[in-house]
Structure 1
Amino acid sequence: MNLQEYLRILRRNWIWIVAFSLLGLLLSGVATIVVKPNYTATTRLFVAIQNSGSVQELQQGNTFSQARVQSYVKIATTPAVLQPAINRLGIETTAENLAESVKASTDLDTVLINISVTDHSSVQAAAIAQAVADSLISSVDELEKPKSGGVSPVTLSVVAPAKAPAEPSSPNAKLNLLLGSLTGLALGTVLALLRTSLDIRIRSEADIRRITESPVLGGIAADPTAAETPLLTEAAQRSPRAESFRQLRTNMQFATVSRQVKTILVTSSLPGEGKSSTATNLAIAMARSGQAVCLVDADLRRPMISEYLGLERNAGLTTALLGAADVNDLLQPWGGDNLFVLTSGQIPPNPSELLGSRSMRALIERLETTFDVVIIDTPPLLPVTDAAVLSQHVGGVVVVVGTQQVTNKDLEKSLNSLELVSANLLGIVMNRTPTRGPDAYGYGSYGYESFENEPSTPSFSLKERAETMEFPSPHNDDDEFQRLLHAQESKSTASRFPQRLARRRED
């Protein structure tokens, strides 16, 4: 992954990163409060050598002192020094335990000894430091006395007495909070990378690029009101979702112009990705641009277009395929543009056989001679084979991908199924893409022309083209289904479609 991918991952998981950083800050703050504070008191001693004061003796004494200081530092934490201090203060501890709280050190090339004592009480820390310093002075004096008697040539003097510190030496609140925040930040970043590596759902165009080289024709912006108002006509004219379909319509025209594709099959990998609403709104958008559009509901498993558009479903595609009525009498006009809809009709027991029949191929060829664009909504690719079978009879296929719904493997299987039947994949349409954030594929709500400004002049005469249409006799794929269809469909229901289409032609 490049730097841009890493930045996208961080932006996508910023909530987790911030949450872990705050958690680390909180835990370090709690630990700082809970832990009992320690105070450190320090006293400083000066080591001197007794001499006559000549320059040569001073140099020799200074060298001697620096050499002896290291030994005095080691002696400061021995029981010989610590036990007298304990006895003097009357504290309940041992020399070994006290040695863990006492630290003796010296600065380089000096004759100064620093004795530091850490304790939970600032006053006691200062008292112990002073008592250890006094005990060290006495111990060195005894150790350095000549065996023949006399005064010790080495003297230790307190130059900086120990004082009770006002501030604790530990815990360091600022340092702890900083380390806690950095630790939480690191853990949050690691978790973000781990979640991304384990998340196999399609989230952005970059995820699709890793699977296929097919073009991404567009992204339909997510709209929380789309479930209640799925149609393009019900959305705000300048909303990101409306602009997404206008952009998709434009890209579709470029994708089909060089291949002379008139029939477009719309499908998806799994149910619930929004293929039916995408096909319906794409048909509406194309019809509003002045094209003659026929929308066919070939999802004979779970037809939805009739529900979206409020049309009759009992007589439609299956009615025409079985020869129960002519397709001209089954086309239902919708809206004020040149959009005609062929609903699914009665749900058959053999959808795959009907969609792959010669009657279906002949129906598609007949619609192509009448309409500028034919859009066919089909079932998902993975659960059933309907879309793969029908893709052999159409000019191109568009696969709708529901972001954050379908996985990489599902999309790869879908595309492989289309490749096996040599389908012409026009491209991918991403549905429910976020309008903001790292995975955004939407369009901002800045000024766009409204739908009223789009051309709406009819580009054809349906009556003239219908007179030239030739439709061969349907192939009887299932005698049992045909018998059931004739038994369920009433003449009054089927007779309403030619009358409605005739009134539309007169207008």
Structure 2
Amino acid sequence: MRDYLRILAANWMVIAIATVLSAGAGYVSTLIEQPQYTASVKLFATVAGDSGVRAAQQGDLGATARMTTYQQMATSSIVLQRTIDQLKLDTTTGELATEVLAVIAPKSVVLDLTVSASEASRAIDTVNALGGNLARLSQEVESTDDGPVAELVPVGGATGAQRVESSIVDALTLGGGIGFALSAVLVLARALIRDRAVHRSQLNNFVEQSISTSVVRKTVT
């Protein structure tokens, strides 16, 4: 371990330069990357029932139990394909799924639906269409002769989008960390491949081993 540390110390300038350059590359990447925008809508789960207290309690439990299913339906191929067809998007269901985030809080009957896109208008249009298609699918799945027994109801619609700002600190840290680790590994690999002594203690060790070997051979002889 001491030898490895000595190798790194002897090549500290190379490692430092590589770290700084990598951190700079991380910073530049934040300047040239394509901007991202997010838009969100909320959908509220309701269950049909009487207006009594017990019925309301049972309805709340029923809505809560359905939330995980509704969350999975948000990125189902049916909802995604309907959204693509409605907006005539030039994408696939798999690609659109990577832009969608559906979140539910524990014991909550509210689904937060968020879409990320490179344009604010696309994020807004997509999340509104996605929320509408998800609500309609929930009605179809829960449909009975007397109407849906449960459904998702959009709470308003998205009217604006937020730009996702990249963290410069994270980019510098990640870039610098990768540069440091990679340069350290390469420096150690180069020294091991060349297989040479880099410190006086190594030479002393080689000499002692040689002397010990010679003494053993003479004793045996």
Q: Which band: TM-score by shorter chain? A: 0.7 to 0.9
Whichever residue aligns with residue 186 of structure 1, its letter is A
User: Which amino acid is the alignment partner of residue 158 of structure 1?
Assistant: P
Map 1:22-41 onto structure 2 (within 5 A): 22-41=20-39
Alpha-carbon contact 1:19-1:188 (below 8 Å) kept: no
Q: Aligned equivalents of 1:212 and 1:160: distance in 2?
A: 82
Is the 1:39–1:120 Cα contact (8 Å) retained in structure 2?
yes
**1:186 aligned to 2:169?**
no
- Taking the aligned partners of 1:90 and 1:104, their CA distance within structure 2 comes to 22
What root-mean-square deviation, in Å, do the aligned CA atoms of Structure 1 and Structure 2 show?
3.0
Say if 1:103 and 1:210 are closer, same or farther in 2 by CA, change over 3 A. Answer: same
**Matched residue, 1:167:** 163
The separation in 1 between residues aligned to 2:198 and 2:102, in whole angstroms, is 61
| Conserved? CA contact 1:115–1:133, under 8 Å | yes
Residue by residue over 1:195-245, the C-alpha shift from the partner in whole angstroms, topping out at 9 and shown as x without a partner, is 4334556654324322336xxxxxxxxxxxxxxxxxxxxxxxxxxxxxxxx
Q: Tell me which residue corresponds to 2:219.
A: none
For structure 2, the residue ranges without an aligned partner over 5 or more in a row are 215-221
Match of 1:156, SS state, is strand
The one of 75, 78, 84 equivalent to 2:76 is 78
Return the TM-score normalized by structure 1: 0.37
Q: Distance in 2 between matches of 1:153 and 1:210?
A: 82
Quote the offset at 1:112 in angstroms: 1.9
Question: SS of the residue aligned with 1:108?
Answer: coil
Q: Per-residue displacement from partner, 1:297-323 (whole Å, max 9, x unpaired)?
A: xxxxxxxxxxxxxxxxxxxxxxxxxxx
Report the identity percentage: 29
The residue aligned with 1:453 is none
For the 8 Å contact 1:130–1:161, the answer to whether it is kept is: yes
Q: 1:75 to 1:201 in 2, by over 3 A?
A: closer
Q: Is the contact made by 2:38 and 2:115 (CA closer than 8 Å) also made in structure 1?
A: yes
- Between Structure 1 and Structure 2, the one with more helix by share is 2
Instruction: Return the alpha-carbon distance in structure 1 between the equivalents of residues 73 and 183 of structure 2.
Output: 49
In structure 2, how many angstroms separate the alpha carbons of the residues matched to 1:16 and 1:183? 14
1:69 maps to 67
Q: Secondary structure at the match of 2:101?
A: strand
Does the aligned pair in 1 maintain the 2:48–2:150 contact within 8 Å? yes
Match of 1:235 in 2: none
Structure 2 CA distance for partners of 1:195 and 1:92, relative to 1, 3 Å? closer
Tell me what 2:44 maps to: 46
| C-alpha contact 2:6 2:198 (8 A) present in aligned 1 | no
Kindly provide the CA deviation profile for residues 325-375 of structure 1, in whole angstroms up to 9, marking residues without a partner as x.
Answer: xxxxxxxxxxxxxxxxxxxxxxxxxxxxxxxxxxxxxxxxxxxxxxxxxxx
2:217 corresponding residue in structure 1: none
Larger Rg: 1
Q: Distance in 1 between matches of 2:182 and 2:51?
A: 65
